[in-house]
Amino acid sequence: MCGRLSQYRGIHDFVAALSMPNALVNTVGDQPIGQYNVAPTTQVALLHLEGEVLHADLVRWGWRPHWATDKPEQISTRVEKIAHGPFFRAIWPHRAIMPIDNWFEWVYEGGPKKQPYLIRRRDRAPILCAAIGQYPAGGREPRQDDGFVIITADSAGGMVDIHDRRPVVLDPELACEWLNHATPKERAEQIVLLQGEPADTFEWFKVGMAVGNVRNQGPELIRPMR
């Protein structure tokens, strides 16, 4: 995925999509988030469990281990490699959901600039993206090195024409299982490897070039091109 998304609903709308009975600790706020053009390194609303309590916190989109000072920060990781290898070993057990409204991809179709596309669920429900990260827990304050990455998988169907990778999106039941600390690591790996939402869950269409500038915000960015 290219690295741009929208998160404009209120956090309670995203939490309601999970249908979790757990108590909620919300540090994001109760107003609509209102971010139509979110780029990496931005603080993004992230959902995670601490004990039996669901937490909604603003966490930096992007992460690297403390020892990898010579490597670039990552915003995503391939589902095929997530449980294996040293880079994400420390955060693999720390599962989270990044709820979003849509994401964007850019496609070369001739001309001087790539054409942006918006991808969203056909039913317009929140998109529950599987993620792992380092985030406030146990009552500690946020740290400068906190962050998270999205898990991505190969695209399929017509979506591969837009981009060859896409977020691993889970239905509400699987998202709750993914968040649950009681879910074994082997089962969590199976969920993201094999049970992400299929390509026909989504629709995509062209949007205006203004989304290419991260300083632009507003609902006009997510309207179909005419």
Domain CATH for 153: 3.90.1680.10
Pairing of strands 147-154, 76-78: parallel
Calpha distance 118→105 (Å, rounded)? 7
Q: How confident is the model at residue 163 (pLDDT cuts 50, 70, 90)?
A: low
pLDDT value, residue 83? 75
Domain count across the chain: 1
Q: Which residue has the higher pLDDT, 108 or 130?
A: 130
Q: Dump pLDDT digits (tens) for 179-191.
A: 999 999 999 999 9
Q: Dump pLDDT digits (tens) for 124-140.
A: 999 999 999 998 776 67
**Listed residue (50, 43, 55, 44) closest to 18, CA to CA:** 55
| 220 in catalytic set | no
In this prediction, residues 60-68 reach a mean pLDDT of: 90
pLDDT value, residue 165? 82
End-to-end CA distance of the chain: 25
Pairing of strands 165-167, 202-206: unpaired
Q: Does the model's pTM come out above 0.95?
A: no
In this prediction, residues 96-112 reach a mean pLDDT of: 93
In this prediction, residues 196-210 reach a mean pLDDT of: 94
pLDDT value, residue 124? 97
| 202: containing domain | 5-222
Calpha distance 222→208 (Å, rounded)? 8
pLDDT value, residue 158? 60
- Mean predicted lDDT score pLDDT of the chain: 90
pLDDT value, residue 166? 86
pLDDT value, residue 59? 95
| 105 in catalytic set | yes
Among residues 2, 50, 189, 197, the one annotated as catalytic is: 2
